[in-house]
Amino acid sequence: MHTLDAIGSKPSPGAAGSSVSPPAGSAEHCRGPTETTWQTFREWLLENLNTNQRSNSRLRDMVTSVAEMAQHTLAASSCTVILENGHGHTVFYHTHSVNRSREVAQARTDTLDGPAAWVVRHKRPVMLNEASDWSILEARRGAQCEGPGARILCVPLDAGGHILGALELTRHKAEEPFSERDLNSARMIGATAGITFENSMLRQSVEEGYRSTIRALASAIDAKDPYTCGHSQHVAQYSMVSGFVLNLDADQLQKLETAAILHDIGKIGINDAILRKPRKLSTTEHAIVKHHPVIGAAIIHSIDALHEVIDLILHHHENYDGTGYPHGLKGESIPLGARIIGVADAFDSMTTDRPYRRAFTINEAMTELLRCRSTQFCPQALDAFAIGFSRHYSALPWRPRVLEQPDRLAMCTH
Ligand SMILES: [Fe+2]
């Protein structure tokens, strides 16, 4: 097993919360990660996927393709795509340089300067071949210019009159000046790319709205039981780091996120008196609760956009040795995503307080998971979780409390 000694020692992507969470049951605890914190976590995971795991539809990949194509077509020594992302004045840079042909640089800034600023402001291209051409610019040369004497061709990223940013190409002074023909080619690339980027950003915006709606729905489910507030999102974060370790691609990770957030949606159909019962459930009550995966699958079945996560929700309580429910599936006949969610679900349940017991410490919960390796839990999913939790602990939007005097109740089964 991977040690947890490194916990807290790695940099967090965007300072995602403190290392000690608020007490269970408090209002702050129930809120779970904020929208911004969750987005930062998601973006960090998706940005750090291997190149071949990223979805081709992602904006970053489109920007890379356009930058490479423009640079190659116009024999430029570097190409920078500058995109205003719609959040204040933040600017997204993407540079592709012939001298670092496989290297892609990104940066964000609050101010736009130089030729790109002029192009965005005036909504027309500019061609700067000689030092005297710079007099057309009202602003001083910006940091994104390659250096004194560089030749620059900059065109707007024009989505039918809506300027999204600029495409800036450079050539060294020793190279051929840009021509009118180059200008026309760049202008066409800028117009085509503008429409493509705008479509991608609109799609991203719709998807973000969709994910927010799903999370709001899950929060409503969690709120049925004050002791499980935030549970759905905790399970989602643990599932995603496991999927990340298992090299799932971007589409699979997003499917896993949705399924994990909705895994207990079937509890909507379970009586509150049972869900909120402050003592252990009777056999009959437990049998009723065990219907929730089937109820959840039935609810999701009526929503076309969520069909691909039905199996993960239906099977998240199957055990690797076939002793789980609802179908008693065994081993790899259980969908991998459901096996991942099963581990994440158990870990969050153990590390949060319940009415009848206090939370386990992280190490105790991990020991308990390992005790049930290959019986309740899939070894592949469990190992991925152990590695992911240890390696990416500081990146998690929410972290379990570390208790000094935990109860030591075993809870291998549900
Ligand atoms: Fe469940």
C-alpha of residue 100 to centroid of ligand 1, in Å: 49
- The CA distances from residue 91 to 58, 70, 76, 303, in Å, are 17, 20, 22, 37
pLDDT at 57: 53
41 within domain boundaries: no
Contact 267, 277 (CB under 8 A): no
352 within domain boundaries: yes
Q: What is the CATH number of the domain that holds 339?
A: 1.10.3210.10
pLDDT digits (tens, 9 = 90+) for 145-177: 445 568 999 999 999 888 989 999 999 888 899
339 within domain boundaries: yes
C-alpha of residue 414 to centroid of ligand 1, in Å: 9
**CA–CA gap between residue 294 and residue 327 (Å, rounded):** 10
**CA–CA gap between residue 207 and residue 213 (Å, rounded):** 10
If you search the block for the tokens 């437990």, which residue do you land on? 286
Same domain, 318 and 380: yes
Structural domain of 247: 27-32+229-395
Contact 275, 222 (CB under 8 A): no
C-alpha of residue 316 to centroid of ligand 1, in Å: 7
Would you place residue 294 in the very low, low, confident or very high pLDDT band (cuts 50, 70, 90)? Answer: very high
Same domain, 250 and 185: no
C-alpha of residue 384 to centroid of ligand 1, in Å: 20
Order the strands of the 91-97 sheet from edge to edge.
Answer: 100-109, 91-97, 78-84, 162-171, 151-159, 126-128
C-alpha of residue 26 to centroid of ligand 1, in Å: 23
C-alpha of residue 293 to centroid of ligand 1, in Å: 6
Same domain, 181 and 291: no
Centroid of chain to Cα 221:
22
Of 224 and 96, more confident:
224
46 within domain boundaries: no
**pLDDT at residue 101 is higher than 90:** no
C-alpha of residue 263 to centroid of ligand 1, in Å: 6
Same domain, 138 and 238: no
C-alpha of residue 7 to centroid of ligand 1, in Å: 28
C-alpha of residue 349 to centroid of ligand 1, in Å: 10
The C-alpha R_g of the chain, in whole angstroms, comes to 26
pLDDT digits (tens, 9 = 90+) for 43-71: 788 777 766 666 645 677 788 888 888 88
Same domain, 163 and 270: no
**pLDDT at residue 104 is higher than 60:** no
37 within domain boundaries: no
pLDDT digits (tens, 9 = 90+) for 350-386: 998 877 778 889 999 999 999 999 999 999 999 999 9
Same domain, 160 and 65: yes
Same domain, 267 and 187: no
pLDDT digits (tens, 9 = 90+) for 261-276: 999 999 888 888 888 8
Same domain, 177 and 63: yes
Tokens read off for 285: 């009550």
C-alpha of residue 304 to centroid of ligand 1, in Å: 22
Q: What angle do CA 337, 340, 345 make, to 5 degrees?
A: 120
Same domain, 283 and 150: no
Q: What is the CATH number of the domain that holds 162?
A: 3.30.450.40
C-alpha of residue 86 to centroid of ligand 1, in Å: 38
Average pLDDT estimate for 298-315: 90
22 within domain boundaries: no
C-alpha of residue 358 to centroid of ligand 1, in Å: 20
C-alpha of residue 161 to centroid of ligand 1, in Å: 50
pLDDT digits (tens, 9 = 90+) for 211-225: 778 877 777 777 777
C-alpha of residue 284 to centroid of ligand 1, in Å: 17
**CA–CA gap between residue 161 and residue 190 (Å, rounded):** 12
How many structural domains does the chain have? Answer: 2
pLDDT digits (tens, 9 = 90+) for 108-137: 666 777 888 889 889 999 999 987 787 777
Contact 108, 93 (CB under 8 A): yes
C-alpha of residue 266 to centroid of ligand 1, in Å: 8
The HSE-up count of residue 89 (CA atoms within 13 Å, CB side) is 7
Tokens read off for 412: 């291998």
Same domain, 256 and 319: yes
C-alpha of residue 250 to centroid of ligand 1, in Å: 25
Same domain, 141 and 255: no
State the chain's mean pLDDT as an integer: 80
CA torsion, points 399, 403, 407, 409, in degrees to nearest 10?
Answer: 30
238 within domain boundaries: yes
Cβ count within 10 A of residue 259: 29
C-alpha of residue 292 to centroid of ligand 1, in Å: 7
Weakest mean pLDDT among 34-38, 151-155, 278-282: 34-38
Same domain, 191 and 235: no
196 within domain boundaries: yes
C-alpha of residue 206 to centroid of ligand 1, in Å: 28
Tokens read off for 162: 């809506």
pTM for this predicted structure: 0.67
